[in-house]
Homo-oligomer: A and B are copies of this chain.
Protein backbone atom coordinates (compact mmCIF):
# COMPACT_ATOMS: atom_id res chain seq x y z
CA UNK A 1 0.00 0.00 0.00
CA UNK A 2 1.23 3.48 -0.84
CA UNK A 3 1.86 6.34 1.54
CA UNK A 4 -1.15 8.29 2.74
CA UNK A 5 -2.24 11.29 0.70
CA UNK A 6 -1.13 14.00 3.10
CA UNK A 7 2.59 13.84 2.28
CA UNK A 8 1.68 14.27 -1.38
CA UNK A 9 0.49 17.77 -0.58
CA UNK A 10 3.61 18.59 1.34
CA UNK A 11 5.73 17.27 -1.51
CA UNK A 12 4.11 19.61 -3.97
CA UNK A 13 6.15 22.56 -2.81
CA UNK A 14 9.41 20.64 -2.48
CA UNK A 15 9.57 18.39 -5.52
CA UNK A 16 9.43 21.04 -8.23
CA UNK A 17 12.26 23.53 -8.82
CA UNK A 18 11.49 26.69 -6.91
CA UNK A 19 11.36 29.97 -8.82
CA UNK A 20 10.25 33.37 -7.62
CA UNK A 21 6.59 33.11 -8.54
CA UNK A 22 4.65 35.02 -5.92
CA UNK A 23 4.49 38.73 -6.59
CA UNK A 24 3.05 41.46 -4.38
CA UNK A 25 -0.44 41.00 -2.95
CA UNK A 26 -2.98 42.31 -5.41
CA UNK A 27 -3.56 46.04 -5.57
CA UNK A 28 -6.85 47.16 -3.96
CA UNK A 29 -7.85 48.61 -7.33
CA UNK A 30 -7.77 45.08 -8.68
CA UNK A 31 -10.80 44.24 -6.55
CA UNK A 32 -12.74 43.01 -9.59
CA UNK A 33 -10.31 40.09 -9.68
CA UNK A 34 -10.85 39.42 -5.98
CA UNK A 35 -14.62 39.40 -6.45
CA UNK A 36 -14.23 37.07 -9.42
CA UNK A 37 -11.99 34.73 -7.45
CA UNK A 38 -14.27 34.67 -4.42
CA UNK A 39 -17.28 34.19 -6.71
CA UNK A 40 -15.56 31.30 -8.47
CA UNK A 41 -14.59 29.58 -5.23
CA UNK A 42 -18.04 30.20 -3.73
CA UNK A 43 -19.87 28.73 -6.71
CA UNK A 44 -17.39 25.88 -6.79
CA UNK A 45 -18.37 25.08 -3.20
CA UNK A 46 -22.10 25.36 -3.89
CA UNK A 47 -22.02 23.09 -6.90
CA UNK A 48 -19.60 20.64 -5.27
CA UNK A 49 -22.03 20.41 -2.36
CA UNK A 50 -24.86 19.63 -4.74
CA UNK A 51 -22.96 16.95 -6.64
CA UNK A 52 -21.37 15.28 -3.63
CA UNK A 53 -24.72 15.18 -1.85
CA UNK A 54 -26.16 13.41 -4.89
CA UNK A 55 -23.14 11.12 -5.22
CA UNK A 56 -23.58 10.01 -1.61
CA UNK A 57 -26.48 7.87 -2.87
CA UNK A 58 -23.90 5.72 -4.65
CA UNK A 59 -22.39 4.65 -1.32
CA UNK A 60 -22.43 0.92 -0.59
CA UNK A 61 -23.62 1.41 3.00
CA UNK A 62 -25.10 4.03 5.30
CA UNK A 63 -21.83 4.83 7.08
CA UNK A 64 -20.08 5.64 3.82
CA UNK A 65 -23.09 7.51 2.55
CA UNK A 66 -23.00 9.64 5.71
CA UNK A 67 -19.27 10.26 5.24
CA UNK A 68 -19.69 11.66 1.72
CA UNK A 69 -22.71 13.66 2.90
CA UNK A 70 -20.54 15.18 5.60
CA UNK A 71 -17.85 16.00 3.06
CA UNK A 72 -20.56 17.76 1.05
CA UNK A 73 -21.78 19.68 4.08
CA UNK A 74 -18.32 21.14 4.66
CA UNK A 75 -18.54 22.74 1.22
CA UNK A 76 -21.69 24.59 2.14
CA UNK A 77 -20.20 25.92 5.37
CA UNK A 78 -17.32 27.27 3.31
CA UNK A 79 -19.77 28.69 0.80
CA UNK A 80 -21.40 30.72 3.59
CA UNK A 81 -18.09 32.30 4.61
CA UNK A 82 -17.33 33.30 1.02
CA UNK A 83 -20.83 34.63 0.41
CA UNK A 84 -20.63 36.69 3.61
CA UNK A 85 -17.32 38.15 2.52
CA UNK A 86 -18.74 39.05 -0.89
CA UNK A 87 -21.67 40.76 0.82
CA UNK A 88 -19.21 42.64 3.01
CA UNK A 89 -17.45 43.83 -0.17
CA UNK A 90 -20.81 45.17 -1.37
CA UNK A 91 -21.33 42.43 -3.94
CA UNK A 92 -24.43 40.25 -4.26
CA UNK A 93 -23.01 36.69 -4.03
CA UNK A 94 -25.30 35.42 -6.79
CA UNK A 95 -23.94 38.05 -9.15
CA UNK A 96 -20.33 37.22 -8.35
CA UNK A 97 -21.03 33.53 -8.92
CA UNK A 98 -23.17 33.67 -12.06
CA UNK A 99 -20.28 34.04 -14.57
CA UNK A 100 -19.02 30.63 -13.47
CA UNK A 101 -22.27 28.70 -13.68
CA UNK A 102 -21.78 27.50 -17.29
CA UNK A 103 -18.16 26.30 -16.89
CA UNK A 104 -18.67 24.50 -13.59
CA UNK A 105 -21.97 23.09 -14.81
CA UNK A 106 -20.25 21.68 -17.91
CA UNK A 107 -17.48 20.19 -15.80
CA UNK A 108 -19.88 18.39 -13.49
CA UNK A 109 -22.32 17.36 -16.22
CA UNK A 110 -19.51 15.77 -18.21
CA UNK A 111 -18.04 13.99 -15.17
CA UNK A 112 -21.05 12.44 -13.50
CA UNK A 113 -19.74 9.46 -11.49
CA UNK A 114 -21.30 6.11 -12.35
CA UNK A 115 -20.40 4.45 -9.06
CA UNK A 116 -19.02 4.98 -5.57
CA UNK A 117 -15.35 4.75 -6.53
CA UNK A 118 -15.73 7.20 -9.38
CA UNK A 119 -17.45 9.59 -6.96
CA UNK A 120 -14.62 9.33 -4.44
CA UNK A 121 -11.94 9.64 -7.10
CA UNK A 122 -13.67 12.75 -8.34
CA UNK A 123 -13.68 14.25 -4.85
CA UNK A 124 -10.06 13.22 -4.25
CA UNK A 125 -8.60 14.25 -7.60
CA UNK A 126 -10.82 17.24 -8.36
CA UNK A 127 -10.62 18.76 -4.89
CA UNK A 128 -6.89 18.14 -4.80
CA UNK A 129 -6.14 20.01 -8.01
CA UNK A 130 -8.62 22.77 -7.21
CA UNK A 131 -7.17 23.22 -3.73
CA UNK A 132 -3.62 23.44 -5.08
CA UNK A 133 -4.73 26.04 -7.57
CA UNK A 134 -6.63 28.12 -5.04
CA UNK A 135 -3.74 27.89 -2.56
CA UNK A 136 -1.52 29.49 -5.21
CA UNK A 137 -4.17 32.11 -5.94
CA UNK A 138 -4.53 32.94 -2.25
CA UNK A 139 -0.91 34.05 -2.17
CA UNK A 140 -1.83 36.80 -4.63
CA UNK A 141 -4.54 38.25 -2.42
CA UNK A 142 -4.33 40.76 0.42
CA UNK A 143 -5.77 39.89 3.83
CA UNK A 144 -8.40 38.98 4.89
CA UNK A 145 -9.16 37.31 1.55
CA UNK A 146 -5.89 35.43 1.47
CA UNK A 147 -6.65 33.67 4.75
CA UNK A 148 -10.28 33.14 3.82
CA UNK A 149 -9.37 31.28 0.64
CA UNK A 150 -6.78 29.21 2.55
CA UNK A 151 -9.39 28.41 5.19
CA UNK A 152 -11.88 27.00 2.72
CA UNK A 153 -9.44 24.51 1.21
CA UNK A 154 -10.58 20.97 1.87
CA UNK A 155 -10.08 19.25 5.15
CA UNK A 156 -7.37 16.59 4.75
CA UNK A 157 -9.47 14.24 6.91
CA UNK A 158 -11.83 13.75 3.99
CA UNK A 159 -9.03 13.35 1.47
CA UNK A 160 -7.71 10.64 3.72
CA UNK A 161 -11.06 8.89 3.70
CA UNK A 162 -11.38 9.05 -0.08
CA UNK A 163 -7.77 8.00 -0.58
CA UNK A 164 -8.17 5.08 1.79
CA UNK A 165 -11.30 3.84 0.01
CA UNK A 166 -9.54 3.97 -3.35
CA UNK A 167 -6.47 2.13 -2.00
CA UNK A 168 -8.64 -0.58 -0.44
CA UNK A 169 -10.61 -1.06 -3.64
CA UNK A 170 -7.40 -1.43 -5.66
CA UNK A 171 -5.98 -3.86 -3.11
CA UNK A 172 -9.12 -5.97 -3.45
CA UNK A 173 -9.09 -5.83 -7.25
CA UNK A 174 -5.98 -4.43 -9.00
CA UNK A 175 -7.92 -3.93 -12.25
CA UNK A 176 -9.74 -1.08 -10.51
CA UNK A 177 -6.53 0.99 -10.71
CA UNK A 178 -6.69 1.11 -14.48
CA UNK A 179 -10.30 2.10 -14.65
CA UNK A 180 -9.93 4.82 -12.01
CA UNK A 181 -6.71 6.14 -13.57
CA UNK A 182 -8.55 6.64 -16.85
CA UNK A 183 -11.39 8.28 -15.00
CA UNK A 184 -8.96 10.62 -13.22
CA UNK A 185 -7.42 11.60 -16.54
CA UNK A 186 -10.84 12.43 -17.87
CA UNK A 187 -11.57 14.52 -14.77
CA UNK A 188 -8.36 16.50 -15.23
CA UNK A 189 -9.00 16.90 -18.95
CA UNK A 190 -12.51 18.22 -18.45
CA UNK A 191 -11.32 20.40 -15.57
CA UNK A 192 -8.56 21.96 -17.68
CA UNK A 193 -10.92 22.50 -20.56
CA UNK A 194 -13.35 24.42 -18.32
CA UNK A 195 -10.50 26.28 -16.64
CA UNK A 196 -9.40 27.42 -20.10
CA UNK A 197 -12.93 28.61 -20.78
CA UNK A 198 -12.93 30.64 -17.57
CA UNK A 199 -9.49 32.06 -18.39
CA UNK A 200 -10.78 33.28 -21.75
CA UNK A 201 -14.01 34.68 -20.40
CA UNK A 202 -12.73 36.31 -17.20
CA UNK A 203 -9.79 38.45 -18.09
CA UNK A 204 -9.66 39.83 -14.53
CA UNK A 205 -8.63 36.42 -13.24
CA UNK A 206 -6.23 35.78 -16.10
CA UNK A 207 -4.59 39.12 -15.48
CA UNK A 208 -4.35 38.44 -11.77
CA UNK A 209 -2.57 35.16 -12.44
CA UNK A 210 -0.33 36.56 -15.17
CA UNK A 211 0.80 39.53 -13.09
CA UNK A 212 1.01 37.51 -9.89
CA UNK A 213 3.14 34.81 -11.46
CA UNK A 214 5.50 36.94 -13.49
CA UNK A 215 3.80 36.34 -16.82
CA UNK A 216 4.16 33.40 -19.17
CA UNK A 217 7.19 31.70 -17.63
CA UNK A 218 5.85 31.97 -14.09
CA UNK A 219 2.44 30.67 -15.12
CA UNK A 220 4.09 27.68 -16.76
CA UNK A 221 5.97 26.93 -13.56
CA UNK A 222 2.73 27.28 -11.65
CA UNK A 223 1.04 24.69 -13.85
CA UNK A 224 4.04 22.38 -13.67
CA UNK A 225 3.93 22.55 -9.91
CA UNK A 226 0.21 21.81 -9.78
CA UNK A 227 0.65 18.95 -12.23
CA UNK A 228 3.52 17.47 -10.22
CA UNK A 229 1.47 17.61 -7.02
CA UNK A 230 -1.39 15.90 -8.84
CA UNK A 231 0.93 13.11 -9.98
CA UNK A 232 2.21 12.56 -6.45
CA UNK A 233 -1.36 12.52 -5.15
CA UNK A 234 -2.38 9.96 -7.77
CA UNK A 235 0.52 7.62 -6.97
CA UNK A 236 -0.25 7.92 -3.27
CA UNK A 237 -3.47 5.98 -3.83
CA UNK A 238 -2.15 3.66 -6.53
CA UNK A 239 -3.35 5.53 -9.62
CA UNK A 240 -1.26 6.33 -12.72
CA UNK A 241 -1.18 9.73 -14.27
Interface residues of A (CB under 8 A from B): 43, 46, 49-50, 53-54, 56-57, 61-63, 65-66, 69-70, 72-73, 76-77, 79-80, 83, 92-94, 97-98, 101
Interface of A is mostly: helix
Contacts of A70 in B (CB 8 A): 76, 79-80
In the assembly, what is the distance between CA of A101 and CA of B57, in Å?
A: 13
Contacts of A46 in B (CB 8 A): 62, 65-66, 69
What's the nearest-Cβ distance from chain B to residue A75, in Å? 8
Contacts of A98 in B (CB 8 A): 62
Asked whether B76 lies within 8 Å of A72 as measured between CB atoms, the reply is: yes
Residue with the highest number of chain B CB atoms closer than 10 Å, among A57, A65, A92: A65
Q: Which of B65, B66, B76, B83 contacts A73 (CB 8 A)?
A: B76
Contacts of A72 in B (CB 8 A): 53, 73, 76
What's the nearest-Cβ distance from chain B to residue A139, in Å? 27
